[in-house]
Chain A
């Protein structure tokens, strides 16, 4: 109550300051004049009365001060005075101010930019209702996250678990479909979701409704929900979408709901269709794992509690279906953490790195302030002599540094804003839908808090040092601004710290770069150069017949090969790197695993190809043959396997002619005869080793979609127009999609690793520069302080080389001490990078040696400038200088 009244009164007077001052003035004048009049009435002459009134009132200004203090305005006023004083000081030293502000702004800007990404990806609650109750459920095998769940398993969990308010599956990969109708045909991406996915997430449709449970059952009418963005594009007006009919792949669907543009989950889908038990992927077996699950916990249910319940169900399924569910379980994680799992380590490493850069920047500015402190000693001593308390002086110096930091914060925000456009683009950090849109409130608050903290951090040592002046000595010392030993040693400690931290950052960056180079240089098992890739999907309605499809692709393949500059053409169901995964369980058909316990059997990536694919990709055919026209329907099923598969299934044996069984999701496994063995290729990602792979003949499995890889003589991008024209000539309604060179595909797939290492390298470079500026500053300052001493030495016969060595030794001692400290710290810390390093040990000696060499060289350069200046000291001038 009382506090509240005081705050109100305080705010009132802070805001109406002028009113307060005039009021005080009027009140005092009234008092004086009233008293004087009383005195006049009692017989005192008027001039004398006024004099006595003033005298008895006491010092008017000091009483006014006390009145302001009574209102709690003193601290406020002094702060204002300190600010004005500080601003004047900063204006008076534009050089110092500019250097300090720039240095700090770099640090604050970098930190703010990184924080805004972290805030967006890791901290900001997901834009769903009560997101804390959402869990991500992923399948595990023997504790290893898979992460996809099979549809039958999903339905069992859904039916048996009652800790959840909602338990919804979604097919996590974008599927493609062609939308036709009155306007031009258009390709869109869609996926299948459990009918209540949006309900579970708690996102209302912008118009229309969610799917009904009925629509999640087989045989109900075909319906679709579309994104507002797509509806806008397709119908011109998104409001027209609900109730409209959408023709997708030739089949009509009724649009029942519109999802808002802001909705983003897993990918930017144009449309969602209800998952129906027994249809499409929802009808696959327990071995086909291709769904992810989002659950909403009932209020009051903990994730641990729900996990226990799910574990019981997993055990039950394991007993019921040992063939498919042995060692299989379901792991529940908080949704946000699970979605950001991949980016989390990189983001934290980069945040830590940029934090260290700020620390170095702080050390630099603290060093500058310390140096300036020695110049300002006289001024501060004077203030102390005039009665300023130590606390008062410390506070004033701190206000100065915080002012400096806030200035830097403003500039830093500008830098952050700029970096913010750059970093997400370059790093691919965050989903496309969650690219930071700007700097929002938490980020601004972070920058503000960081600036104040920075100001205190770099200001506190110089302020304490500045306020502890030894009055008498300082005034006695007069104009000479000599320095105490401790001031130099404090700066030296700062420099040692800076060098140590920059060494750590350099080592970290060096390791990541080496790892990235290893990754980029990995031979993926096929020739990535001069390959143009793309995708063609035929409409099921236009090509219902398998022979039509085979004819189309065969003809297209022949004509593509005839384009000038094309050396070979390969067609495959899923391109390496771009379309990873899709694996099935495989085994030697003549030696099936015991009890057909398939969970123990290995799985292989499955691809379907036209003849000539291996040739086009330069994947060597080790033994046997490629597919031929004769590998068609009604002919024996044939298969080409890769070397790893041959070694695993038929160790030491000739695999040709042997039989392989594949669980393709049907009731019975399918058995093939091995006709060829090809080289291993990294088809899932460059960093992962080549998986076991099976290749089937397109003539036996003619699907509507095929991707191509065209081997060209020159730059593959040169023939894109010819390819487009050629495909249109074959069928005007068939678009070619994603025409891009394989090199670019691979480059894009490595973008996260590349940016992490490049960004860290950038931070490390800035850190190195700052540390060297710090080293240079200390040394230059020390040389200027020692001019007299150096002059004496030279007068006594020291030559330039000895002077050079003297200064170099001082500087390099600091640098080497810093490197030693940094080395030890780096040795301990690089272990944290372990999971981000490809094929490089965290204590890779080459990196440590190279970084130390680089640092020594740069430090020597930083020392050389002041050292050279020292050799230029003229003994006569130096001695006269005093």
Chain B
């Protein structure tokens, strides 16, 4: 149970970092951006986004400031910091290595052993 949660959490962090790496976004914007780039295939409970955003900001990976949204309202915008960019890069590499490793394991056929 717990392990799955951790994985989910880690994944969400990575998605958020990716989303704000493309430009400053407010919380709702992050949600929309993730849904957009994932082609609506990922289902995230909307509220759980915020603890993750706070955690990333607490760790100094993103920073925030209040600004004005498209609909002329006060909103809190998040942007990627330099440590956040480095983290996104290492996480991406790690993810890719892991994915290709898992993929190659799953591709293994009985004859190859």
Q: A30-B69, A63-B47 are in contact. Are A9 and B76 (CB under 8 A)?
A: no
Q: Once the chains bind, are A58 and B59 in contact (CB under 8 Å)?
A: no
User: How many Å lie between the Cα of A77 and that of B26 in the bound state?
Assistant: 27
Q: A6-B59, A30-B69, A35-B46 are in contact. Are A67 and B51 (CB under 8 A)?
A: yes
The answer to whether B75 has its CB under 8 Å from any CB of chain A is yes
Q: Once the chains bind, are B46 and A70 in contact (CB under 8 Å)?
A: no
User: How many Å lie between the Cα of A29 and that of B52 in the bound state?
Assistant: 17
Q: Within the complex, what minimum Cβ distance (angstroms) separates B29 from chain A? A: 9
User: How many Å lie between the Cα of A27 and that of B29 in the bound state?
Assistant: 12
Residue from B51, B60, B71 in contact with A70 in the complex, judged by beta carbons closer than 8 Å: B51
Interface string of B58-98 (1 = CB under 8 A from A): 11100000000101011110000001000000000000000
Q: Once the chains bind, are B58 and A30 in contact (CB under 8 Å)?
A: no
Q: Is the interface of A mostly helix, strand, loop or mixed?
A: helix
Tell me the residues in window 468-517 of chain A with beta carbons closer than 8 Å to chain B beta carbons. none
B57 and chain A: residue at smallest CB distance: A9
Q: Once the chains bind, are A58 and B28 in contact (CB under 8 Å)?
A: no
User: How many Å lie between the Cα of A307 and that of B108 in the bound state?
Assistant: 78
Q: Once the chains bind, are A66 and B51 in contact (CB under 8 Å)?
A: yes
Tell me the residues in window 7-60 of chain A with beta carbons closer than 8 Å to chain B beta carbons. 9-10, 23-24, 26-28, 30-31, 33-35, 37, 56-60
Q: Once the chains bind, are B27 and A70 in contact (CB under 8 Å)?
A: no
With a CB–CB cut-off of 8 A, which chain B residues contact A70? 51-52, 54-55, 58
Q: Once the chains bind, are B58 and A72 in contact (CB under 8 Å)?
A: yes
Residue among B47, B55, B75 with max Cβ neighbours from chain A (10 Å): B47
Q: A56-B45, A57-B47 are in contact. Are A9 and B27 (CB under 8 A)?
A: no
Q: A9-B57, A67-B54, A70-B55 are in contact. Are A30 and B47 (CB under 8 A)?
A: no
User: How many Å lie between the Cα of A31 and that of B52 in the bound state?
Assistant: 15
With a CB–CB cut-off of 8 A, which chain A residues contact B60? 2, 5-6, 9
B29 and chain A: residue at smallest CB distance: A34
With a CB–CB cut-off of 8 A, which chain A residues contact B26? 27, 30
User: How many Å lie between the Cα of A62 and that of B45 in the bound state?
Assistant: 13
Q: Once the chains bind, are B74 and A30 in contact (CB under 8 Å)?
A: yes
A33 and chain B: residue at smallest CB distance: B73
With a CB–CB cut-off of 8 A, which chain A residues contact B59? 2, 5-6
The answer to whether B109 has its CB under 8 Å from any CB of chain A is no
Q: Once the chains bind, are A58 and B74 in contact (CB under 8 Å)?
A: no
Residue from A5, A6, A34, A72 in contact with B28 in the complex, judged by beta carbons closer than 8 Å: A34
Q: A37-B71, A58-B45, A67-B50 are in contact. Are A27 and B58 (CB under 8 A)?
A: no
User: How many Å lie between the Cα of A35 and that of B71 in the bound state?
Assistant: 12
Q: Is the interface of B mostly helix, strand, loop or mixed?
A: helix
Q: Within the complex, what minimum Cβ distance (angstroms) separates A222 from chain B? A: 72
With a CB–CB cut-off of 8 A, which chain A residues contact B52? 70
A6 and chain B: residue at smallest CB distance: B58
Q: Once the chains bind, are A31 and B54 in contact (CB under 8 Å)?
A: no
Residue among B51, B69, B75, B83 with max Cβ neighbours from chain A (10 Å): B51
User: How many Å lie between the Cα of A9 and that of B64 in the bound state?
Assistant: 12
The answer to whether B48 has its CB under 8 Å from any CB of chain A is yes
With a CB–CB cut-off of 8 A, which chain B residues contact A31? 27-28, 31, 46, 50
Residue from B27, B45, B55 in contact with A27 in the complex, judged by beta carbons closer than 8 Å: B27
User: How many Å lie between the Cα of A58 and that of B51 in the bound state?
Assistant: 12
Q: Once the chains bind, are A58 and B71 in contact (CB under 8 Å)?
A: no
Q: Within the complex, what minimum Cβ distance (angstroms) separates A869 from chain B? A: 56
Q: Within the complex, what minimum Cβ distance (angstroms) separates A187 from chain B? A: 72
Q: Within the complex, what minimum Cβ distance (angstroms) separates A193 from chain B? A: 61
User: How many Å lie between the Cα of A1 and that of B86 in the bound state?
Assistant: 14
With a CB–CB cut-off of 8 A, which chain B residues contact A33? 73
A72 and chain B: residue at smallest CB distance: B58
Residue from A1, A26, A58, A66 in contact with B46 in the complex, judged by beta carbons closer than 8 Å: A58
A34 and chain B: residue at smallest CB distance: B28
Q: Once the chains bind, are B76 and A58 in contact (CB under 8 Å)?
A: no
User: Interface residues, chain A, CB within 8 Å of chain B?
Assistant: 1-2, 5-6, 9-10, 23-24, 26-28, 30-31, 33-35, 37, 56-60, 62-63, 66-67, 69-72
Question: Across chains A and B, which 7 residue pairs bring their CB atoms closest together, nearest first?
Answer: A5-B60, A66-B51, A58-B47, A70-B55, A70-B54, A63-B47, A57-B47
Cross-chain pairs A/B with CB under 8 angstroms, 29 sampled: A2-B60, A5-B59, A5-B60, A6-B60, A9-B58, A10-B58, A23-B76, A26-B74, A27-B27, A27-B50, A27-B75, A28-B47, A30-B75, A31-B46, A34-B28, A34-B73, A35-B28, A56-B45, A58-B45, A58-B47, A58-B48, A62-B47, A63-B47, A63-B50, A63-B51, A66-B48, A67-B54, A69-B51, A71-B58
Given contacts A23-B76, A62-B47, 8 further A-B contacts (CB under 8 A): A2-B60, A27-B26, A28-B47, A30-B69, A33-B73, A35-B28, A58-B47, A66-B48
